[in-house]
Amino acid sequence: MWVSIFVAKDKNEADRIMARLDDEGFVNRIRPGTGGIMQDGQLEVQVLESEALDAQQFCY
């Protein structure tokens, strides 16, 4: 199952986060933002649920 760990403001930011996650070996993907509070163009960076805690700590 996929879990969102980061909301990127645009594709460039999402690509930077994904590259960092790739370098550390985290399986990841991006998904168009959904939900009532997301603005146009925002993207969710997602990882596997089993890696979510480690990946989120790595991002912040």
Distance between CA atoms of residues 55 and 16, nearest Å? 14
Q: What pLDDT was estimated at residue 59?
A: 82
Per-domain residue ranges of the chain: 2-59
What the block records as the tokens of 1 is: 């199952």
Q: What is the pLDDT of residue 26?
A: 97
Q: Which residue has the tokens 């760990």?
A: 5
CATH number given to 2-59: 3.30.70
Burial class (CB in 10 A: 0-12, 13-18, 19+), 32: exposed
pTM for this prediction: 0.84
4-55 pLDDT per residue, tens: 999 999 999 999 999 999 999 999 999 987 665 556 679 999 999 999 999 9
